[in-house]
Structures are given as C-alpha cells and as structure tokens.
C-alpha cells in the first residue's frame, strides 16, 4: 500500500456558530494523497478547498474528524508539518520587502532551506528580486510565493489556486517548474484549482469537492479509462446502479455517467429493451460538470 502524505477522515469545518445557522464549509471530507503524486483538488469557488488547505496548514481548526500531513496530526504537530511542507495559500507576502529580503527572512525558518534553489528559481522564473513585493505584478507575486516554497526544499507542496489570474505564459512556466523540478524528484504536490485543463495536464490524481463533500477521488488515468457517458432510450430505465455516478433524463433520453463497466451496463439496458444511443468517453471537464452541476450526488466513488 502506498504511503499517504495527506489523509483526512470525516473532516468537518463549520462557520457561523452552532445550531442551524452554522454553515459547513467542509462536511465530512475524507481524502488521501499518496506520496509522489500530483493531486489536483478540484472544486467551484466556495466548495471548501481553501478551508481544507487552511486546516492542513494549522491555520484553521476542524470541528471534528482528523487531518494528517506527512503522518503527523495537522492540529497538534503543525510546526513539524510546516518545516517539511511548503504552503502557498493567500499569495500575499510581506508587502514592504523585496524578493531578496524575503529570501533572507525565510532562510532562518527552514532547516532545509537552499539559497542555491532560490537563486535558480529567481533566474528561471525571471522574478525581479530587487522590487518590493507590493509593486510586483500578480504573476510575479505568485512566482515569488512559489520560489519561497520551493527553496525551503519541502517534501510536500500545498498550493491553493496557484494559477488563478495568471496569463498562459506564466501559468506554463509555473506548471513546468512544478512538474519538471519538483515532482520529478518523487515529491508530492497537492494543488487546488478550478482550472481543469491545467490540472488535467499535470495531475495524476484528482479529488472533486463540492459543498464541502468529496464527490470523487481517483487516478486521472482510471477516470479516462473507465468513465463513460451512456445515453439510452427506453421504458422503466433504472435510476441507480453500482457504477452510476449521475443520471438525468431529458425528452425521453436517459443520460448516465458511469464510473466503470459502461459496456456491461449498456448490455444490461439492452437486455431490458432499451435502445443505446451511444457510449462515449468523458474528459475531466465533463465529469466535473456532471458531478458539481447536479443538485443531488451519488456518494463518493474511489477508484484505486
């Protein structure tokens, strides 16, 4: 069994006091990130991604459930976690310091800090290190945040929406650094995003969260290989099944999203007199829309 670097169990975070007025930002989340993976943590705005990451970083406390990072308890052992994990959350550093000052400031905090890495990323990402943080462009701010996280030489990098608001060139630069320099060393990245195409480009695992609940957690390859859309016409079509993720019906056509064995499911429908219109593969974007675009969800399906 693979070693888990992040593991949450039934994690709950509520805001707005107790009782009926409380809103669950994270609602029973159980996720597992394997060592060496690039995990795309997907969800709409307000789905609970950032709250989850804040709990992993020890910035917010869970109401119930557990969160472990690098085998350590996120609430109790936050210092040991922070020494070994690079967190990029708000992309806001100390505004009056320039890049060189920030490198100097960070150096003393991290036992595995590397000035050589900081210099290398400053050059390769073309960051103006002598300019104050508050005067940098949005793209350079993000790059500097990433530089500081990378130069601390972490085992795990946790990034909250790292590419939000960036142009395609900067996005490409960042993703290249993440994959080629960081993940290729066997280190782990947990990256939240709602930019599905970017995640699809680099991730090998994805978790889809909506309204604080994890709807799907699976290897991207497994999703590509197994997820299918089946459209069928017939009477008394089933509304559920072991592999049915979602089902909808419009103008007499039933639209099934299946997590596995689409051909077997289609054969079953045919034997009940239904006509199969098509069985089509799905990309991540289509699956995401199916999962988070619906009001009701089938419980999380883990493919492993």
Q: Residues 18, 19, 21, 108: which binds another protein (CB under 8 A)? A: 108
Is position 237 an interface residue for another protein (rule: CB under 8 A)? no
Q: Which of residues 27-56 bind another protein (CB under 8 A)?
A: 54
In the complex, minimum distance from the CB of residue 89 to another protein, in angstroms, rounded to a whole number: 4
Count Cβ neighbours within 10 Å for each residue of 253-285 and write b for 16 or more, e otherwise. ebebbbbbebeebbeebeeeebebeebeebebe
In the complex, minimum distance from the CB of residue 132 to another protein, in angstroms, rounded to a whole number: 11
Number of residues located near another protein, criterion CB under 8 A = 28
In the complex, minimum distance from the CB of residue 110 to another protein, in angstroms, rounded to a whole number: 7
In the complex, minimum distance from the CB of residue 190 to another protein, in angstroms, rounded to a whole number: 14
Is position 109 an interface residue for another protein (rule: CB under 8 A)? yes
Is position 287 an interface residue for another protein (rule: CB under 8 A)? no
Q: With respect to another protein, which residue has the nearer C-beta, 14 or 228? A: 14
Residue 174, both tokens: 């960042």
Residue with tokens 């990130």: 33
Q: Which of residues 77-106 bind another protein (CB under 8 A)?
A: 79-80, 82-83, 87, 89-90, 92-97, 101, 104-106
Is position 14 an interface residue for another protein (rule: CB under 8 A)? no
Q: Which of residues 120-179 bind another protein (CB under 8 A)?
A: 145
Residue 223, both tokens: 């999703």
DSSP-derived secondary structure letter, 299: P
Q: Which residues are CB-neighbours of 235 under 8 A, at least 6 positions away? A: 273, 274
Q: What's the CA gap between 191 and 182, in Å, rounded?
A: 13
Q: Residues 110, 121, 227, 265: which binds another protein (CB under 8 A)? A: 110
The radius of gyration of the chain from alpha carbons, rounded to an integer in Å, stands at: 22
CA–centroid distance for 24 within its chain: 19
Is position 76 an interface residue for another protein (rule: CB under 8 A)? no
In the complex, minimum distance from the CB of residue 62 to another protein, in angstroms, rounded to a whole number: 11
Q: In angstroms, what CA-CA distances link 108 with 12, 97, 147, 158, 180?
A: 34, 16, 16, 21, 27
Q: Residues 61, 76, 112, 135: which binds another protein (CB under 8 A)? A: 61
Q: With respect to another protein, which residue has the nearer C-beta, 145 or 203? A: 145
Q: With respect to another protein, which residue has the nearer C-beta, 63 or 124? A: 63
Count Cβ neighbours within 10 Å for each residue of 56-95 and write b for 16 or more, e otherwise. bbbebebbebebbbbebebeeebeebbebbbbbbebebee
Q: Which residues bind another protein (CB under 8 A)?
A: 54, 57-61, 79-80, 82-83, 87, 89-90, 92-97, 101, 104-110, 145
């Amino acid at each position: 069994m693979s070693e888990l670097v992040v593991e949450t169990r039934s994690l709950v975070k509520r805001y707005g006091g107790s009782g009926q007025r409380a809103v669950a930002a994270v609602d029973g989340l159980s996720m597992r990130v394997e060592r060496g993976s690039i995990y795309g943590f997907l969800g709409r705005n307000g789905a609970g991604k950032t709250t989850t990451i804040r709990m992993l970083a020890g910035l917010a406390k869970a109401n119930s459930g557990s969160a472990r990072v690098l085998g350590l308890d996120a609430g109790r052992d936050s210092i040991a976690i922070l020494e070994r994990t690079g967190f990029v959350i708000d992309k806001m550093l100390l505004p009056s310091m320039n890049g060189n000052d920030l490198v100097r400031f960070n150096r003393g905090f991290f036992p595995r800090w590397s000035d050589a890495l900081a210099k290398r990323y400053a050059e390769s990402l073309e960051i103006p290190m002598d300019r104050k943080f508050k005067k940098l462009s949005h793209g350079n701010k993000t790059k500097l945040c990433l530089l500081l996280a990378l130069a601390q030489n972490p085992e795990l990098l946790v990034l909250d929406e790292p590419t939000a608001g960036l142009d395609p060139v900067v996005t490409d630069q960042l993703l290249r650094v993440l994959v080629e320099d960081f993940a290729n060393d066997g280190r782990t990245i947990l990256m939240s995003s709602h930019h599905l195409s970017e995640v699809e480009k680099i991730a090998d695992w994805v978790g889809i969260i909506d309204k604080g609940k994890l709807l799907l957690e699976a290897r991207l390859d497994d999703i590509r290989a197994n997820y299918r859309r089946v459209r069928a016409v017939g009477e008394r079509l089933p509304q559920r099944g072991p592999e049915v993720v979602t089902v909808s019906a419009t103008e007499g056509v039933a639209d099934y999203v299946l997590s596995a064995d689409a051909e077997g499911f289609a054969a079953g429908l045919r034997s009940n007199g239904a006509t199969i219109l098509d069985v089509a593969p799905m990309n991540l974007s289509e699956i995401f829309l199916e999962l988070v675009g619906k009001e009701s969800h089938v419980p999380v399906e883990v493919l492993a």
